[in-house]
Structure 1
Amino acid sequence: MSIDSVNGTASTASTNSTSSGSSSDGQSINQADFLSLLVTQMQNQDPTSPMDSSQMVSQLAQISQVQATQNLQTSLSSLVSQIQSSQVADSSGLIGKTATVPSSAATLSDGSLTGAVNVTTSNAPVAVQITDPGTGKVVRTIDLGTPASGLTAFTWDGKSDDGSQLADGTYQISATAGQTAAQTYVTGTVSGVGSAGSDNGTYLQVDGVGGVLLSQVAQVN
């Protein structure tokens, strides 16, 4: 008699424990439950048709593997949680510093806005365009010359191309290096840190931008 053939119920529980790690009623079955079930099956086996020992060993190995996997997942989850807590604590030292982060929008405050352009091609003419999001009109173009590759900083004084002072608020920014669009960054003060969950890690709250993942920060000063 095989381990899967006692009273029907045992067969269902055994099958589920090896294939999905749960019993037929949806409750979790662990290694101790499986061993208890196995002992019961052995006590009630037909003497004329004893249990197949190779099948028993195979099923024991499967339930042990399931249990080991569950233990590993628990350990990894705990480790990730500890790392995230440590990273948030370490990042708290960035509060009050300025961070340069990727963004296509920036806040003009007290007539000043600072940012940067990620230049990937050396000696290409680089220009920043400031756009009024309400009208969609480019209000200022800033010529950055032909810088070397890397982050090239820029500052906007809040004035339009005709020299008039524009109101504080949020503006769209974009950049080109030659004929190619370039990534724009904005510089703001770090006002807080937090956890964005196991998939994303730590984030910084940057004034004028919002929450930005720590992994996306280009510079901290």
Structure 2
Amino acid sequence: MTTVSTQTSQDVYSALGLTAPNSNASTRKSTLDQADFLRLMTEQLQHQDPLKPMDNTQMVAQMAQMSTVQGITDLNTTVQGFQESMASDQVLRGAALVGHEVLVPSTKMVLGEEGGASGVVAAPGAGIVNVTVTDANGNTVTQLSVEATAAGETAFEWDGKDANGNRVAAGDYTIAATHTDTAGAETKLSTYVQAPVESVTVGSDGLYLNLKGLGTAPIDYVLRVS
């Protein structure tokens, strides 16, 4: 009858005069931690030159370096957690805007099948605000004039008709505004329009709102929510 040997792999290596590989050996670390730093300092104290021993100033300096490194590591961990928390909070803030209308800077105005479109400018003072509406081909559709009684927000509204009173096709139109003060000086103005938020997008550099008819705008562009 044949007998099956139960000799272990360790016995085989011993019989050959070899040392078995340690399968439980820990993986080498690629970075030093606080325990490693203390171990190095202990070895340094043990092997220092008796004729030139380390003075207290050097030891205190090394311990201070160790504390600084540990503090920076803890700070990085805290900042990373804070960033993750802020990112989650920003997503919730953006989701809460879905379905609401926001006021954002834009040189484009969207005209629907019915009704008109509106926007605002920040007038530098009393005077006349002129808003020029042009189509996709750059042709002037109409021009609106609104009186600004003082510095501040001045609203304008377009009824969707051209200069002859005819209803124009729905779509995107470009707007440009200027302000003429009481002395006749003309100043170009930035225009702002309202648009509904359809959804939000999380980008690598922040949160973006997808606005109906206007496209995508960073959440930082929002001036007012209604």
The counterpart of 2:75, out of the listed 72, 78, 92, is: 72
Shift, 1:150, TM fit: 2.9
Q: Which protein shows a greater Rg?
A: 2
In the alignment, the residues of structure 2 paired with residue 147 and residue 203 of structure 1 have an alpha-carbon distance, to the nearest angstrom, of: 35
Structure-2 change in CA distance of 1:130 and 1:33 (3 Å): farther
With normalisation by structure 2, the TM-score equals: 0.73
- AA in 2 matched with 1:186: V
Shift, 1:220, TM fit: 1.6
Q: Is the 8 A contact 1:99 1:218 kept in 2?
A: yes
Q: Is the 8 A contact 2:110 2:117 kept in 1?
A: no
- 1:190 maps to 2:193: no
Identity score, percent: 36
Aligned residue pair count: 192
**Structure 2: segments with no counterpart, 5+ residues:** 1-29, 181-185
In the alignment, the residues of structure 1 paired with residue 41 and residue 136 of structure 2 have an alpha-carbon distance, to the nearest angstrom, of: 70
In the alignment, the residues of structure 2 paired with residue 162 and residue 48 of structure 1 have an alpha-carbon distance, to the nearest angstrom, of: 102
Look up the match of 1:167. Answer: 169
In the alignment, the residues of structure 1 paired with residue 134 and residue 126 of structure 2 have an alpha-carbon distance, to the nearest angstrom, of: 25
In the alignment, the residues of structure 2 paired with residue 43 and residue 112 of structure 1 have an alpha-carbon distance, to the nearest angstrom, of: 87
CA-based RMSD of the aligned residues comes to: 2.4
4+ aligned runs moved over 6 Å, structure 1: none
Q: Is the 8 A contact 1:127 1:144 kept in 2?
A: yes
- 1:217 maps to 2:222: yes
Deviation larger for 146-155 or 95-104: 146-155
SS of the equivalent of 1:64 reads helix
In the alignment, the residues of structure 2 paired with residue 192 and residue 118 of structure 1 have an alpha-carbon distance, to the nearest angstrom, of: 26
With normalisation by structure 1, the TM-score equals: 0.74
SS of the equivalent of 1:144 reads strand
The counterpart of 2:135, out of the listed 121, 128, 132, is: 132
- AA in 1 matched with 2:91: V
In the alignment, the residues of structure 1 paired with residue 73 and residue 127 of structure 2 have an alpha-carbon distance, to the nearest angstrom, of: 55
Shift, 1:211, TM fit: 2.5
Shift, 1:68, TM fit: 1.0
